[in-house]
Amino acid sequence: MYKIYTNKCGMPNGHIQKILLVMRFTTVIIMATILQVSASGYAQKINLSAKNVSLKFLFQEIRKQSGYNFLYADAELRLASKVSITVAAADVKDVLNQVFTGQPLTYSIDEKTVVVKQKERSFLNRIQDYFNSVNIRGVVVNENRTPMMGASVKILGTKQMATTDIDGVFVLKGVASDAKMSVSFIGYRTDTIEIKGRTSFTIQLDPQANLMQELSVVSTGYQDLPKERATGSFEVITKEQLQHSTDPNLIRRLEGITNSMDFRNDLRPVNSANPNAQRSPLANLTIRGKNTLNESVNADLNGNYSGQVLVVIDGIASPYSIDKVNPNDVESITILKDAAAASIWGSRAANGVIVVKTKRGAYGRPARISLNSNFSVTEKVDLFYNKTMSISDLIDAQKLQFVNAGRPLPEVSISSLYGQEPVSPVTEIMDAWLNKHTLTEEQANAQIDALRGNDIRRDYTKYFLRNSVSQNYSLSVDGGSETFNYRLSGGYDRILNNTRNSGSNRLVIGYSASLRPVKNLEVQGNITYNVQKNKEQAAENRISGATNSTFFPYTKLADDQGNPLEIGKMYRPGFVDLFEKTYPDGQFLSWRYKPLEDINEGYNDIKSQNLNLNFSVNYKIVKGLSAQLIYNYSAGRVEDNTLYRQNSFYMRNLINYFTTSPASTDPKTGNPVSPYVRQLPLGGQYNTSLTKSSNQTLRGQLNYDQLWNERHQLSAIAGVDITQNYSIVKADGYYGYDENTLLSDNKLDYKTMIPIIFSEDFSGYNGEYIPNLSTGFIDNKVRTFSWYSNAAYTYNRKYTLSASVRKDISSEFGRGTNIKGTPYYSIGGSWNIGNESFYHSDLFPVLSLKTTFGYNGNVNPSVLARPLITYSLVNGENNLPYAYTSFGTGISNSKLRPEKTGIWNIGVDFGLKGNRISGSLQYYSKKTTDLLANGALDSSSGYTNITFNTGNLKGYGVDFSLNSLNLQSGPFKWNSNFLFSFNRVKVTKLYASSASVAGQVVSNSSGSYNEGYDLSRVFGYQWAGLDPQTGDPRGYLNGQPVAISNSIEGNTAYNAIQNAPISSLKYFGSAVPVYYGSLRNTFTYAAFSISANVLYKLGYYFRRPESQVLSYSKLYSNIPVIQGVEYNNRWQRPGDEAHTNVPSVVYSSANQNRDNFYYYSSINVLKGDHIRLQEINFSYSIHVRKNWFVKNPRVYMNMSNIGILWKANDQGIDPEVFDYPNPRSYSFGFSANF
């Protein structure tokens, strides 16, 4: 640098060397780039005449004439005011004195060089300054007049500067009253203001339209990039956007504000007593359609699902579940959709990546406290949403069935249960009347009629369901000095679920700190602890809200006074009475069951804790190049405890079951055994399992980011990533457990079949093993080694080229893939047309074009080319340990190959003049080759269908987003955000031998896919109406109508229709929405803001929910299932077929052909298109006095799941509701800073 410098200037070495030596002690590098040195010919006297010229101009003139060189910093020269001067044949010094008069600069002459520097102020000057200086205070606001935090305010020509706080306020002391200040904020035009002795300012900054794009920073988890330079498809969700909802679950808050994400609401459970309620909403989420198919809905021990969206939290791939993140701690979320964005995550990126960045402190920001609190109430679920046949009709159907079937029930027996499976109470009454003659016709009818008025849904609603209430509190403190910053946060959520004895709470505490101990080194640490407790009814005590062999549609749970009622469970009515009459002496526990009391006799508590530690060290090696070392350790601990108290029905039954009675016999010899021996101790049962997980990631990464000549910018990263995830489950169980004394009794003989209370159980056995409480260990270890690199080169802020590559080696792949597998890569380019000199569109000042291509992968750890065996302790039949294989653990498949998804993405970002409208449009096309999916197989291989390379997919679609400012007039403003996604996934090639017949395709059984069709699609059997004579449903066989009756002929016809080619079916189209998105309108009036979000899903079909389609085999089963209201519309007499498609009544509980044909026929497929009003938000920023300790108080209200606005089907069915709709919820919240 030194050499070049001198050569260029051609100066005598001695002089310049001296100067440079001085400089070296100051800021060698910075100065070198901005210093300008002039040298030229030789002259003595100066002649000048200039008006209002810059010093720079004058220096050049003086140099020309005198040969003096000038050394100055450009920045300093800018402080100087312009000069008017007229001199003739003046001495250099005189000229200079004249020039520097009144300037904040001074000079010195060293040999022939004039060194310009800032004036050292004299004591007097300083005193003078003091009196001339003022203390100023100001507020920086944006175009909406909302305060801007973090704007920087500088006093020009001095080192004085300040940053605005959360209220947009800055304070500067001792500012020269004639100084100028510049106020800047990224994305806004910098404003320069003369102070002119004023002390109070309100400064409004105007957005700089073509900088808007630069504002957002996208994060891939490995690096942060300005969006302008990112070629890939990224979508950034800011913390402000996340405020639209108060859902404590982060994933759910993304609905309605993100593009191309489809939340399968129809699968979202709503009743907390439903075991599915525990499932993460991540399980059903797709980004840009389904890419990989994995039917498994169970997470592995680390909570990861294959074939799912990958979640990255603070740069680490799923260190812990995203459900544990407190949404108030989230700074931003970036969704990576295409190859350039996601392929850096390699083998797990095919389904998209969600990158979560949590909030951190900031250097040089004063401490502030933020508080947010809200309270939500969710209505009870509407069990009556599905219109059903009347209870009375159900009872009549049961009566009719009993008469028609003509099968008398055996006498109730307390010793032999074979054939004594419980039947419905109506059947029992009918049997007592018609066969046992213990009831007269009048008595029987009276008893039956008494049931007609009952409805278990009413009782569930009244005694079991409740409004769900949730409270959320979050508090954080953050701030920082120049070398240290921190953030401490705490969040607490408390939720009462919508069923009794069910609820949860969550505490999340986080602390993060960054330190710059020495120059070029930054150390960061982050520690997050969360603890979540869920409390539920114990599984066996639980009332699921459904009807089953214990709960019939006409079961009554409580009497009119609300006292819990007894119902029969597990055994036939009459069993308990007979039992108590036979053994009155109290040798046995009671067999009576009151469900509303029983739910209190135990619990299922899950306590999950997670501690995440993250350390990173970042060292700047030279300018532009830095090295980073990150270590993340996440320790999880989930305790799952279930207690059944002795008083629970489950426990009483179990103890009784293993108590001998006079009917008991020795299972070996068949001889009677001595009665009244309790073989299972009194007390409860306590099951406990502890899952401990430890996930570790170590990453070394080099970052390079350099700008040359203001034109060439290269940013690149390269690194290696080593992870190990290990988890172990320890399970244990105890009999005879007493929760007060903690005593238990496990000294039991589990290996001998012992006599039971019955001479024969339901299966005819007279002995049983004591159920082994699940004890033992399961573990799971995954190690992955990856290397990756990513580089992007930008020329002149116009053209960007990017490339990435990654290779994963994992213990989950099997050796072949590790050795032979190729790396995943991507390339991309973008063209920022808006920055081109030739481009002068007034309409679209912002315009950029992007395109990318690359490969993403998906790992399916369960698909292995050779089987794993699972060890099992003992088989009860032969008492030998054994091992087994299962689909889930691999199958011998020599042709297994990894699947790959190639994605091509092209997009355009645009902004209209004045930023009134901005948005982006993207088209993508994805090709998945060697798709791993469940496919049909030659049955002689030993499997009918397994997961293997079944075929190729092609997906394509459009993402479009548009943000507009529709109206702005004074304090009133109307904004719209419109999101639109189009997505279609088709099967282009199928290797599997499969799905060639109608039956497989129509029911989507055994992994049926077809070339040329949508991946998720709906077919229906051609419907030929009802048989005019019998009311049987009819289909077409070889073009002729054929009745699917409940006979061997009907069976033959049904089988023939099932096995007909798929062309015999009616094809509807996609089963998942093809067009979907949302429209949010926000109206702001001063401090008030109201917004409403409408979701739409279009272009798809659905089959009517099973609960609404009449099934006689379910109606007439021993455990009657109440049928949909269309029962009233069934075919009853010839002629009815003209106005109904509902088949006539047949009595069969086993043959489902007729019901299945009807269910899968084309008449039950409807258009799924619908629009729903998802939520309305209201917010009000309370105006407070400026010196109040509370800042920015805001109250808000939110109403969600409001209802469906329009649906395409005319049957009144919400296509996303399978049992009952998500109930409405209302929340109220408050947030403020201190």
Partner 1 sequence: MKLNHHIFPVLIVCLILASCQKFVDIKKSGSQSFIETAQDCQLILDNYDLFNTAYPIDGEISTDDYYLDDARYNSDPITLDDRSLYTWRSNAIRNEGTQWVNSYNKIYHTNLVLEALEKLNGKESPGILNNLKGSALFLRAYALWNLAQLYARPYGANAAQDPGIPVHLLSDINDIQGRGTVKITYDRIVQDLSDAANLLNATSSISTRPNKAAAFAMLARVYLSMGNYPGALASASSALELKHDLIDFNTLNKESFNPFVKFNKEVIFHSVVFSQNSVLEAGYGDQDLALINPEIISSYEINDLRKSILFKENTDVPVPSGTYRFTGNYESAVGSSKLFNGLAVDEVYLTRAESYARTGNADAAMQDLNTLLQSRWASGTYRTKTAGSVNDALSQVLGERRKELVMRGSRWTDLRRLNKEAQFARTLSRVVNGSTYTLPPNDNRYTLLIPQEVLTNSALAQNAR
User: Token match 């979050």: residue?
Assistant: 474
Instruction: Output the smallest distance, CB 813 to partner 1, in A.
Output: 8
Binds partner 1 (CB under 8 A): choice among 22, 403, 621, 869: 869
The site map against partner 1 for 181-220 (x = CB under 8 A) is: ----------------------------------------
What span, in angstroms and rounded, lies between the C-alpha atoms of 278 and 298?
11
Binds partner 1 (CB under 8 A): choice among 449, 739, 779, 1011: 779
Nearest alpha carbon to residue 223 among 791, 886, 1033, 1015: 791
Q: Does the protein bind partner 1 through residue 694 (CB under 8 A)? A: no
Characterise 1201 by phi-psi region: left (phi > 0), alpha (psi -120 to 50), beta (else): left
Hey, what's the torsion of the CAs at 543, 549, 553, 557, to 10 degrees?
Answer: -50
Instruction: Output the smallest distance, CB 304 to partner 1, in A.
Output: 13
**Which residues, listed in sequence order, are joined to residue 805 by a DSSP beta bridge?**
789, 825
Question: Of 588 and 948, which CB lies nearer to partner 1 in the complex structure?
Answer: 948
Hey, what's the torsion of the CAs at 143, 145, 148, 154, to 10 degrees?
Answer: 80
Instruction: Output the smallest distance, CB 883 to partner 1, in A.
Output: 4
Binds partner 1 (CB under 8 A): choice among 74, 91, 938, 1011: 938
Question: Of 313 and 937, which CB lies nearer to partner 1 in the complex structure?
Answer: 937
Q: Does the protein bind partner 1 through residue 871 (CB under 8 A)? A: yes
Instruction: Output the smallest distance, CB 1000 to partner 1, in A.
Output: 7
Instruction: Output the smallest distance, CB 1028 to partner 1, in A.
Output: 24
Residues in the chain, how many? 1234
Question: Of 179 and 673, which CB lies nearer to partner 1 in the complex structure?
Answer: 673
Quote the tokens at residue 526: 């982050």
Task: Give Cβ neighbours of residue 851 (< 8 Å, ≥ 6 apart).
Answer: 231, 828, 829, 830, 904, 905, 906, 907
Find the binding residues for partner 1 in span 976-995 (CB under 8 A).
993-994
Q: Does the protein bind partner 1 through residue 1003 (CB under 8 A)? A: no
Kindly list the distances between the CA atom of residue 898 and the CA atoms of 294, 341, 868, 876, 932, in Å, as whole numbers in the listed order. Answer: 14, 21, 18, 39, 8
Task: Give Cβ neighbours of residue 819 (< 8 Å, ≥ 6 apart).
Answer: none
Q: Report yes or no: 484 and 514 within 8 Å, Cβ to Cβ.
A: yes
Quote the tokens at residue 690: 């502890």
Quote the tokens at residue 953: 């997919």
Q: Does the protein bind partner 1 through residue 141 (CB under 8 A)? A: no
Instruction: Output the smallest distance, CB 780 to partner 1, in A.
Output: 5
- Identify which range of 359-367, 492-500, 617-625, 811-819 contacts partner 1 by CB under 8 A: 811-819
> First-to-last CA distance in the chain?
51
Binds partner 1 (CB under 8 A): choice among 41, 517, 586, 881: 881
Q: Report yes or no: 1064 and 1053 within 8 Å, Cβ to Cβ.
A: no
Binds partner 1 (CB under 8 A): choice among 485, 653, 701, 1000: 1000
Question: Of 477 and 997, which CB lies nearer to partner 1 in the complex structure?
Answer: 997
Phi (first) and psi of residue 576, to 5 degrees: -65, -45
Binds partner 1 (CB under 8 A): choice among 875, 1029, 1132, 1211: 875
Q: Where are the beta strands (DSSP E) in 942-1044?
A: 945-969, 972-990, 1017-1021, 1034-1037, 1040-1043
Binds partner 1 (CB under 8 A): choice among 26, 674, 939, 1038: 939
What span, in angstroms and rounded, lies between the C-alpha atoms of 984 and 734?
53
Q: Does the protein bind partner 1 through residue 1150 (CB under 8 A)? A: yes
Hey, what's the torsion of the CAs at 304, 305, 311, 314, to 10 degrees?
Answer: 10
Binds partner 1 (CB under 8 A): choice among 1048, 1186, 1188, 1212: 1048
Quote the tokens at residue 862: 């369960």
Binds partner 1 (CB under 8 A): choice among 199, 202, 440, 892: 892
Q: Does the protein bind partner 1 through residue 943 (CB under 8 A)? A: yes
* Pairing mode of beta strands 133-141, 200-204: parallel
Nearest alpha carbon to residue 599 among 543, 651, 655: 543
Question: Of 921 and 1056, which CB lies nearer to partner 1 in the complex structure?
Answer: 1056
Task: Give Cβ neighbours of residue 546 (< 8 Å, ≥ 6 apart).
Answer: none
Instruction: Output the smallest distance, CB 151 to partner 1, in A.
Output: 48
Question: Of 151 and 864, which CB lies nearer to partner 1 in the complex structure?
Answer: 864
The site map against partner 1 for 651-670 (x = CB under 8 A) is: -----------------x-x
Instruction: Output the smallest distance, CB 720 to partner 1, in A.
Output: 8
Q: Does the protein bind partner 1 through residue 969 (CB under 8 A)? A: no
User: Token match 């449903």: residue?
Assistant: 1033
- Identify which range of 351-359, 582-590, 775-783, 1207-1215 contacts partner 1 by CB under 8 A: 775-783
Binds partner 1 (CB under 8 A): choice among 202, 941, 966, 1029: 941
Find the binding residues for partner 1 in span 839-868 (CB under 8 A).
861, 866-868
Binds partner 1 (CB under 8 A): choice among 37, 778, 801, 1090: 778
Quote the tokens at residue 702: 């080099």
- Identify which range of 413-421, 439-447, 576-584, 1138-1146 contacts partner 1 by CB under 8 A: 413-421
Kindly list the distances between the CA atom of residue 1091 and the CA atoms of 778, 973, 1088, 1228, 1231, in Å, as whole numbers in the listed order. Answer: 49, 12, 10, 15, 18
Q: Does the protein bind partner 1 through residue 123 (CB under 8 A)? A: no
Q: What is the DSSP letter of 520?
A: T
Instruction: Output the smallest distance, CB 895 to partner 1, in A.
Output: 5
Task: Give Cβ neighbours of residue 810 (< 8 Å, ≥ 6 apart).
Answer: 347, 782, 783, 784, 785, 818, 859
Instruction: Output the smallest distance, CB 751 to partner 1, in A.
Output: 15
- Identify which range of 478-486, 573-581, 886-894, 1082-1090 contacts partner 1 by CB under 8 A: 886-894
Find the binding residues for partner 1 in span 1058-1097 (CB under 8 A).
1058-1059
Question: Of 407 and 623, which CB lies nearer to partner 1 in the complex structure?
Answer: 407
What span, in angstroms and rounded, lies between the C-alpha atoms of 655 and 649?
10
Instruction: Output the smallest distance, CB 657 to partner 1, in A.
Output: 18
Question: Of 454 and 889, which CB lies nearer to partner 1 in the complex structure?
Answer: 889
